[in-house]
Chain A
Amino acid sequence: MKLALKPLGRVDIPQANIIILSSRKELPDAGFYPVISKLEVKGNYDENLEIFLKVKKNTQVETIKCGTIKNQTLPNERFLSHWVSNEISFTYFIQLISPADSKVVASMKSPQSIDDDSKDNKDVAPVGTRFTDTSPRLWRLKMSEGEKPVIEISKDIEDQGFIDNLIFLNSILPNVVLEIGGFLLANRAHLDDEGWFKDWKKFFEAMEINDFEEVGDEEDEITRWLNRLVDRYCVRFKSNLYNPLIEKLNSSNESMEDF
């Protein structure tokens, strides 16, 4: 059993309690800068605590207060407009602050990175979700050439927030990528057609998977390629999926004690 000493009495904010998304804006003739398009801190915290966001890119750090737990606010769109570059990724760190004395009451365990290539950061996600009749399966993936892939989840689940459940996401998303990769490979002649094929091709290219045309028709070659695709996906999103889940699962075994 691990024993964590908490001499400062500070509470860790689980990664699963934080939703943050960024997108990119163009500064003509200069490049792009990141815009924080969504920020939400969930959890049972004092509603008067202030949300303090620190973002860091290379040697630059910016900080901003994003309202309180009760009234959460987004940073202004031009907050990071001086971070002009073609590389938009950055790290963020959130603390919850007592307004009376600026003391840190809760904070993330460590800074996390964010970049705008992740599917969640796009206005239109390349995969949809829908609660429907899937019994006796918990979920299934529906795919067709005309409509973007949809993850159908059993309507028997009453908690709609279930789709954010890290165990669920870690279990299904690699399989979703596997199935979509296989579907695209089978229809590789249409990869550049407008629509979801093109979106997913771009998504895979962002993961440096761009050899669709070179994969042969042998079953073991296709299997190897798909495994590489899924591995690449899992590595790319490890900090969003795998790490927070492991941290969450392990933290439930910790016995904490204040000194």
Chain B
Amino acid sequence: MKIRFFKSKNGIFPKEIHEEFERVFVNGEKLNAKFLSDSKYSSELSVNNGKDLDIKNESQFKIAKAIAESLGGKSKIKTYRDKYGLWLWLTFAYADLIFGEDKEGKKKILRQDNYWPNDVKDYQTAARHRIRGLCMMYASHGDNADFLLNRPLSVRGELMENLSQSPEFTDKTIYLTFRKLFWNASKKSAKKGYASKVCGARDLVSDIKKLMYTHAVELMTVDELIEILHPRFKDKWL
């Protein structure tokens, strides 16, 4: 289907959309599919060269790529950052794939900002949105986003959590340093232990943040940055 967006008046969505959101993303009920195509609530997005969007269960990377193609290409994604009706419609569209399960097999429902596209000015929660967040990562890093997005939509992951917590960390050098240390490119999988307390992703975030006081790490190459990191990272991962 063609990609669509929910209509709003002065930024306010109809109460039916709010009610359906609560039913699906708070109470865990199944989406009423009519909301995706009913022209009372949504309109087709006018996109030059936009492909049809095929909603299917695939990795976050492939989903981000499919959404990018439906928006006219990777370079266009960021221009839609504050088009809340679009991200809300996409969340509805992927509702069947977005939830994980707890140990008892019940639907695991997370904080509302995982599903509701919060104001982009809210730096604490905006990046948490499950669809917009992965699309922005893909927009910033293209094929190199594979190591973050190689998982089902229902799994957020430690790496994504750490790399999206601070806007500075979308920088290419920092991002590729994470990739070089934690990603096994030949096996296309994350190295075992990347979420460990010592030498893991959170430890690396902390070390790089300290270095940003003294160095313009964004101007360095990945190898230069690795050289000034605490040697424990190099010893452990390279």
Contact = CB atoms under 8 A, between A and B. Distances in A.
Tell me the dominant secondary structure on chain A's binding face.
Answer: strand
A3 interface: no
20 contacts: A8-B214, A54-B218, A56-B167, A58-B120, A58-B121, A59-B126, A59-B127, A59-B167, A60-B167, A61-B170, A82-B78, A84-B79, A85-B82, A97-B219, A101-B215, A102-B215, A102-B217, A102-B220, A104-B213, A104-B215
B167 to A, nearest CB: 4
For the complex of A and B, the 6 pairs showing the least CB-CB separation, nearest first, are A82-B78, A61-B167, A63-B218, A84-B79, A97-B216, A58-B121
A95 B75 CA distance: 28
A201 interface: no
A27 B79 contact: yes
Contacts of A85: 82
A97 B216 CA distance: 7
A63 B171 CA distance: 8
A101 B79 CA distance: 35
Given A58-B123, A59-B167, A104 B214 contact: yes
Interface string A2-15: 00000010100000
A171 B95 CA distance: 59
A202 interface: no
Nearest to A52: B216
Nearest to A101: B215
B224 interface: yes
B7 to A, nearest CB: 17
Nearest to A99: B219
A30 interface: yes
Given A27-B79, A59-B120, A103 B214 contact: yes
B143 interface: no
Interface in B133-180: 167-168, 170-171
Interface string A187-211: 0000000000000000000000000
Given A58-B121, A59-B126, A61-B171, A95 B79 contact: no
A155 interface: no
B228 to A, nearest CB: 9
Interface string A24-55: 00010010000000000000000000101010
A65 interface: yes
Interface in B74-89: 75, 78-79, 81-82
Contacts of B215: 101-104
Given A10-B214, A58-B126, A101-B215, 15 more contacts: A52-B219, A58-B121, A60-B81, A60-B167, A61-B170, A63-B219, A82-B75, A82-B79, A84-B79, A85-B82, A102-B215, A102-B216, A102-B224, A103-B214, A103-B216
Contacts of B224: 102
A97 B220 CA distance: 11
Contact of A102 (B120, B121, B171, B219): B219
A50 B219 contact: yes
A222 to B, nearest CB: 36
A50 B15 CA distance: 53
A101 B228 CA distance: 10
A50 B79 CA distance: 30
A84 B81 CA distance: 8
Interface in B53-108: 75, 78-79, 81-82
